[in-house]
């Protein structure tokens, strides 16, 4: 629905819409505005429910993003105004954070240096490493993450600090699309103790010394191989362009949900037989890894580059989680164009 039409409906007291919390609007709660004179709830049209309305409601109101949400088929207007900026420790990133925060606050947004329950968008300033740290720091929420690149590659980042107008437009006008990614989930069992971890890119298991590891690989409860080598990486489609790609794994379009297992320096001779190419598995299967012989205290398990386990273990089971993180992309975003510009 065009904004002017929405403004007219609000001004005339149309009960199918509400602007609770917006400046210049009535104080009735959203639920009250969903009731007609009979007291019965009215349902907004399906096309109205899914649209976004962007602009201030009055001349003096801040230009917040107004989203129309569907809750039990009832329309509620929600003002998006709370942002959190996560940055790495570089001077360039900190300078960029100060400038961006100043501009956003001038536009009426509340910008925090702390992730809060009311945070509605996370701006990450740094490189891909900072982006992965921000996901973990915030607990992998479903709220959108906008990457602003001050690092090197910046595969997850969409903008640079010099794109202030675009950053403000994305936050104020909602001129972006959301790219959802399913997380990887790993459960590590060691005796009676177990731990659960998440990662966006990959889980890596390797020997931190100079020994060959011998790993039993099962997929969907079926034995696949015993891997002899330096270790392995289990990557998501999002992580196919990260460590997995350095190991000559396949690049997978993120629109395809898959698990990819790539060996690190696999041994393949008359004595030891290991797959030398990556293996791709559908999202419905999980990958179980166990040590053929538990005698190596130098084993390390890493989630997106962060060590989460050291020493022997019984099993590590990796699957695609039901949890999703949402990354902000420009309306003209294309994965393969980014691959060409960043990797070729």
Copy the structure tokens of residue 75: 């329309």
Query: What average pLDDT does the segment 149-170 reach?
Result: 91
Active site residues: 128
Copy the structure tokens of residue 178: 């959301």
CATH of domain 82-175: 3.40.50.10330
Answer yes or no: is pLDDT of 56 > 70.
no
CB 30 within 8 A of CB 78: no
Average pLDDT of every residue of the chain: 81
Copy the structure tokens of residue 109: 């947004």
Among residues 212, 207, 227, 213, which one has the least CA distance to residue 287?
A: 227
User: For the ranges 240-244, 296-300, 313-317, which has the lowest average pLDDT?
Assistant: 296-300
Query: What average pLDDT does the segment 208-235 reach?
Result: 93
Answer yes or no: is pLDDT of 71 > 80.
no
Among residues 283, 332, 327, which one has the least CA distance to residue 145?
A: 327
Residue pointed to by tokens 């409601």: 57
Answer yes or no: is pLDDT of 73 > 70.
no
**pLDDT, tens digit, 9 for 90 and up, residues 224-251:** 999 999 999 999 999 999 999 999 999 9
Answer yes or no: is pLDDT of 33 > 50.
no
**pLDDT, tens digit, 9 for 90 and up, residues 85-141:** 999 999 999 999 999 999 999 999 999 999 999 999 999 999 999 999 999 999 999
Residue 80: predicted pLDDT: 60
CB 179 within 8 A of CB 172: no
Residue 14: predicted pLDDT: 52
Answer yes or no: is pLDDT of 262 > 60.
yes
Q: Rounded to an integer, what distance in angstroms lies between the CA atom of residue 159 and that of residue 166?
A: 8
Rounded to 5 degrees, φ, ψ at 152 are -100, -70
Across 192-341, where does the E strand assignment appear? 193-199, 202-207, 213-219, 222-229, 231-235, 259-264, 279-281, 287-291, 299-303, 306-310, 315-329
Q: Has domain 184-320 been given CATH number 3.40.50.1100?
A: no
Residue 288: predicted pLDDT: 98
Residue 273: predicted pLDDT: 84
Residue 272: predicted pLDDT: 85
Q: Where are the domains of the chain?
A: 3-80, 82-175, 184-320
């Amino acid at each position: 629905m065009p904004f002017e039409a929405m403004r007219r409906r609000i001004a005339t007291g149309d009960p199918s819409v509400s602007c609770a919390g917006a400046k210049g609007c009535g104080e009735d709660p959203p639920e009250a505005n969903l009731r007609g004179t009979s007291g019965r709830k009215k349902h907004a049209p399906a096309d109205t429910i899914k649209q976004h309305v962007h602009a201030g409601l009055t001349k003096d109101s801040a230009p917040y993003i107004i989203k129309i949400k569907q809750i039990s088929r009832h329309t509620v207007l929600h003002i998006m105004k709370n942002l959190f900026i996560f940055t790495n420790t570089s001077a360039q990133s900190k300078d960029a954070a100060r400038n961006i925060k100043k501009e956003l606050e001038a536009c009426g947004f509340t910008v925090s240096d702390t992730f809060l329950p009311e945070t509605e968008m996370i701006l990450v300033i740094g490189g891909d490493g900072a982006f992965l740290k921000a996901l973990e720091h915030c607990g992998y929420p479903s709220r959108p993450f906008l990457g602003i690149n001050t690092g090197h590659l910046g595969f997850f980042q969409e903008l640079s600090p010099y794109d202030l107008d675009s950053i403000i437009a994305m936050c104020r006008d909602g001129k972006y699309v959301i790219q959802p990614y399913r997380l990887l989930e790993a459960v590590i069992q060691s005796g009676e103790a177990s731990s659960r971890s998440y990662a966006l890119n990959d889980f890596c298991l390797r020997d931190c010394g100079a020994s060959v590891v011998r790993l039993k690989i099962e997929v969907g409860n079926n034995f696949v191989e015993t891997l002899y080598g330096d270790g392995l990486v289990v990557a998501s489609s999002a992580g196919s362009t990260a460590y997995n790609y350095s190991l000559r794994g396949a690049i997978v379009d993120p629109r395809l949900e898959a698990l990819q297992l790539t060996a690190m320096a696999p041994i393949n001779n008359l004595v030891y037989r290991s797959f030398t190419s990556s293996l791709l598995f559908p999202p419905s299967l999980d990958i179980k890894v166990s040590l053929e012989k538990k005698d190596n205290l130098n084993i390390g398990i890493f989630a997106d580059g962060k060590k989460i386990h050291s020493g022997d273990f019984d099993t590590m089971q990796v699957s695609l989680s039901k949890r999703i993180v949402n990354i902000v992309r420009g309306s003209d975003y294309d994965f393969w164009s980014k691959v060409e510009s960043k990797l070729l």
